[in-house]
Every structure is written in C-alpha cells, then in structure tokens.
Amino acid sequence: MENETIIQGLKPYLIGEKIRALRLKKSLGLVELGKHSGLSAALLSKIERGKLIPTLPTLLRIAMVFSVGLEYFFDHNRSRNLVEVVRRDERQRFPERPGAEDIAYWFESLDFKTSERKLNSFYAEFVLIAVEKLRPHQHAGVEMLYMIEGALCLKIGGEDFELTAGDAVYFAGSTPHYYHRTNAGGNCRALVVTAN
C-alpha cells in the first residue's frame, strides 16, 4: 500500500518520460546511456517506461550524464505542455536604447515569462525621428517583422524596404539595420520576432 502511494505521488513528474526525452535529444541509445551512467540498459528501459522508480543516487547518475540537476526531474512545469500567457497589462515598455534622447521605437516583450525560449517576440511602436539621428544595430540570428499599422522604411545594409500594414520581412539580424517611421499621422506598430 505504501509503495503504491509513493508510485502515485511520483507519477505526475513523468520522470521516465523526461529521461527518455533527454536521451533522444542527445541521440543516445539505452546501451550508450548505460555505459555513461554505469547502469544496465534493462534497468534504464524499466525506468523510462515507468515500470521502476529510480532511487535518488540512480537518478543523480543519469542527471550527471545530461548535465542537469535533480530539480530538472521534479519541476512540474516540465511535465505540462509549454503554455505562457502574457497579459497586456503585465508587459513593460522600454525605449530602443536605455538613456538615449533620440529613439526610433519603443518595445514590449511578448514572451518574457517563458524560461526556455526558442525565439524572442516583441510589440514595437515606432516614433517620428529625423533620419540622421537613426543608428543601425545588429544581432545574432534572424529577424522577422510584420507591420500591424502605419508605414515604415527598413534599411538593411545599403538597401531600403518600404513596408505598410500587412507587409512582412525576414532577414539576417547580423546585417546592420534600422527602422524609420514614414507616416506622420496615426500609429506605426509592428510585431518583431528574432531567433538564433
């Protein structure tokens, strides 16, 4: 009865599934994981299938192979589907560059709550500013911009791209670029996504 209670208490953590996911991510077979951890492939198979609950020393041996801490296996968030909702009133507004007098846009992170992001997404509002005050920037990875409202000139390298509501552009973030709002009235807003 006590053993059954322990099994039921550990079930929501999906320890076996997490071990299997780590192993497949590293493209390791059960035999290879056994060699690295000093455990038998048969034992590892039972653990992955939920037929056997590993002791803490056994789990620690497995964790060390994948360079994760024991807490990795006991984090409820890892056993759920990854879902993070960011409410409009939770977002914070930041200038393009902290402390700068002349800025081209303000932005808000749309995914700041997510701890293991594969990309970064932002809501951006562009400000009217003289072209000579614009400063190009660059970053690793790629960028995608989708115009929600207004008109924007995006300068990538030495080339200008005129964008209006509904237009989208995808480009290498390592190329120096800047945004220049071209509509005087109304708003100029876009969704910006970057990924490495």
Per-residue pLDDT tens over the stretch 87-122: 999 888 899 888 888 889 999 999 887 766 788 999
pLDDT tens for 19-62 read 988 888 888 889 999 999 999 999 999 999 888 889 999 999 99
113/64 Cα distance (integer angstroms): 28
Is pTM beyond 0.85 here?
no
Domain 88-195 architecture: Sandwich (2.60)
> 2-79, which class in CATH?
mainly alpha
Residue ranges matching CATH 2.60.120.10 in the chain:
88-195
